[in-house]
């Protein structure tokens, strides 16, 4: 059975974007980017909420990365190779290959997808992740804590979630980012 993973880059105070909806403070350096690439390499499917998809779809365009370093081009290739499901009531068409749009998040459908999938699944976007967490679908967590306090914005985790987690691994990067890898306890 595939695992459903929630991965997020957050500020120290728990935000994925600040009040100006900016996350430029979260741009990974080469070491963090390479680590993320290796984390995502075995993922077969991304589940996105519309806003996260609209941020990530830039990786579909080869012109975006043509002058970028190899670790950035590698990320684009990993992203393009994965299937993507976008949950949106308003998005009419996908602007990337290997992408389908679903109108509603269906926990049972995701449970069945996990049972059938040969590769792990990752959920992107805090609102969609909250739905998956509340449905008991998230198996593992990869948090990248950035050494910045932004004071407000979009939280990486909903207020009404309560879980017990088991720490599986941790890593400190030279730029101050800390990676925490957890498993959801039953």
Domain count, the chain: 1
177 exposure class (CB count in 10 Å sphere: 0-12, 13-18, 19+): buried
Per-block mean pLDDT, blocks of 10 residues, the chain (186 long): 97 96 94 98 97 92 87 95 97 95 97 98 95 97 98 92 95 98 96
**pLDDT value of position 170:** 98
8 A C-beta contact, residue 47 and residue 7 = no
Q: Is 48 in a helix, a strand, or coil?
A: strand
**How much is the pLDDT for 35?**
98
Note the Cα 150 to chain centre separation in Å.
20
- pTM for this structure? 0.94
- Residue 126: inside a domain: no
Q: For position 186, what pLDDT does the model report? A: 87
Is residue 184 in some structural domain?
Answer: no
Q: What is the pLDDT of residue 160?
A: 85
What is the domain range of residue 25? 4-121+135-175
Q: Which two tokens stand for residue 10?
A: 């957050």
């Amino acid at each position: 059975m595939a695992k459903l993973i929630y991965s997020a880059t957050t500020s120290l105070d728990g935000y994925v974007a600040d009040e100006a909806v900016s996350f430029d403070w979260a741009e990974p350096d080469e070491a963090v980017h390479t680590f993320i690439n290796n984390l995502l390499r075995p993922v077969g499917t991304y589940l996105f909420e519309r806003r996260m998809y609209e941020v990530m779809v830039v990786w579909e365009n080869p012109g975006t990365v043509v002058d970028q370093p190899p670790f950035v081009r590698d990320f684009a290739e990993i992203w393009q190779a994965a299937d993507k499901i976008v949950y949106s009531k308003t998005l009419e068409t996908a602007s990337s290959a290997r992408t389908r749009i679903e109108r509603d998040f269906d926990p049972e459908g995701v449970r069945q997808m996990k049972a059938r999938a040969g590769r792990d699944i990752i959920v992107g976007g805090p609102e969609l992740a909250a739905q998956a967490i509340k449905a008991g679908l998230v198996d593992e967590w990869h948090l990248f804590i950035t050494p910045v306090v932004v004071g407000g914005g979009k939280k990486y985790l909903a207020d009404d979630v309560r879980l017990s987690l088991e720490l599986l691994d941790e890593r400190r990067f030279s730029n101050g980012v800390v990676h925490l890898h957890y498993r959801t306890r039953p």
